[in-house]
Amino acid sequence: MNPEIALRIALPIGTTLDRFIQQKQEQFPFATGELSQLLRDIALASKIVNREINRAGLLDIVGSFGTQNVQGEEQKKLDVIANVRFIRALKNGREACGIISEEEEDLIDTGNYNGKYVIAIDPLDGSSNIDVNVSVGTIFSIYRRRSPIGTEVQAEDLLQRGVDQVAAGYIIYGSSTMLVYTTGYGVNGFTYEPSLGEYILSHTNIQMPEEGTIYSCNEGQYHEYFAADRAYIDYCREQKYKTRYIGSMVADFHRNLLKGGIFFYPATQSAKKGKLRLMHECNAMAFIAEQAGGKATDGKQRILEITPTHYHQRTPFYVGSKKMVEKVEQFIKQFAQE
């Protein structure tokens, strides 16, 4: 037999996401499988969205849907499609009693009153990049419901601090598609193998480098930034750091998670609360960053300790290598005292 073929037959395909979830669940004697099923439901929806993203140019599903979301932002066709796919998968999966989506103004009651969990999701982050074939992503947070099982979901089930997440993750639809998630016991990454329709474990126990030389922000807003943020950017330039800004937070975050770096979207003169959403984007990325040894702040406090007051609230956001985030916090503190 041809040695190369023999080698291919011999090589194991590796640990699938399903098997990994099952193995991890067995470590929790009281786990009854609902969280595992929820993660599987999200993974299934991401496979469908991945297929549609990869064929977008052929299916006339690029471009605008002609509507705006609750933030008044133009919705792309794929924003709407991804939103439908994830909500449908979560409703049919029956583990989630409620969902808040960046694309929906109000809380979605799935009717699964016996569901133990609720989800906050950004179905397609960075979708303005789709039409130009740049990486985009899905971001999700999972919380345990607070209201009694068997009853209708309540707002209090969703308005929880990031420290109360039981799991969080993202899917990056990039040069390859990856699912990265944590349940509070480290961060693991799975690369999608389309020929098998499986996510395969490819990045075990990811650790974000404590230091980095990449900074990621929209420098076009430099003159809109407050003094501390401008001073930090000046510092990065003096240190001859590399500037990398993709315009899809998931992609910028993923690069920094693996290589080290900082991503920040601060408050500006015209948007004093920042742009990014606490519940749909920042809490999940903050949980993952901390689990990988990184840090996430709004400039004054830990992102995960912010008490949300409404579903779509925005926050200034600094996330990445621990020492880089601490450095920008020093600038913010220094300028606050002046």
Site of interaction with ligand P6P (CB under 6 A): 125-126, 218, 247-249, 275-276
Which residues, 6 or more positions from 5, have their beta carbon under 8 angstroms from its beta carbon?
A: none
**CB contact at 8 A, 279 and 120:** yes
Q: Return the number of the residue (275 or 295) whose C-beta is nearest ligand P6P.
A: 275
Work out how close the CB of 327 gets to ligand P6P at its nearest, in angstroms, rounded to a whole number.
Answer: 20
Surface-to-core class of residue 62, CB atoms within 10 Å of its CB (0-12 exposed, 13-18 middle, 19+ buried): middle
Q: Return the number of the residue (36 or 135) whose C-beta is nearest ligand P6P.
A: 135
Q: Return the number of the residue (38 or 121) whose C-beta is nearest ligand P6P.
A: 121
Work out how close the CB of 218 gets to ligand P6P at its nearest, in angstroms, rounded to a whole number.
Answer: 4
| Rg from Cα positions in the chain | 20
Q: What residue type is 118 in one-letter code?
A: V
Q: Return the number of the residue (40 or 275) whose C-beta is nearest ligand P6P.
A: 275
**CB contact at 8 A, 86 and 65:** no
Tell me the backbone φ, ψ of residue 259, rounded to 5 degrees. Answer: -105, -15
Q: Return the number of the residue (117 or 253) whose C-beta is nearest ligand P6P.
A: 253
Work out how close the CB of 282 gets to ligand P6P at its nearest, in angstroms, rounded to a whole number.
Answer: 10
Work out how close the CB of 126 gets to ligand P6P at its nearest, in angstroms, rounded to a whole number.
Answer: 4
Structure tokens at 309: 């007051």
Which residues, 6 or more positions from 226, have their beta carbon under 8 angstroms from its beta carbon?
A: 266, 267, 268, 269, 335
Largest CA distance in the chain: 75
Work out how close the CB of 248 gets to ligand P6P at its nearest, in angstroms, rounded to a whole number.
Answer: 5
Q: Return the number of the residue (201 or 258) whose C-beta is nearest ligand P6P.
A: 258
**CB contact at 8 A, 38 and 117:** yes
Structure tokens at 188: 């693991």
Q: Return the number of the residue (21 or 80) whose C-beta is nearest ligand P6P.
A: 80
Nearest-angstrom CA–CA distance, 296 and 306? 11
Work out how close the CB of 311 gets to ligand P6P at its nearest, in angstroms, rounded to a whole number.
Answer: 16
Work out how close the CB of 274 gets to ligand P6P at its nearest, in angstroms, rounded to a whole number.
Answer: 10
Pairing verdict, β 262-265 and 214-216 = parallel
Work out how close the CB of 249 gets to ligand P6P at its nearest, in angstroms, rounded to a whole number.
Answer: 3
Q: Return the number of the residue (186 or 247) whose C-beta is nearest ligand P6P.
A: 247
Note the residue count of the chain.
Answer: 338
Nearest-angstrom CA–CA distance, 330 and 264? 15
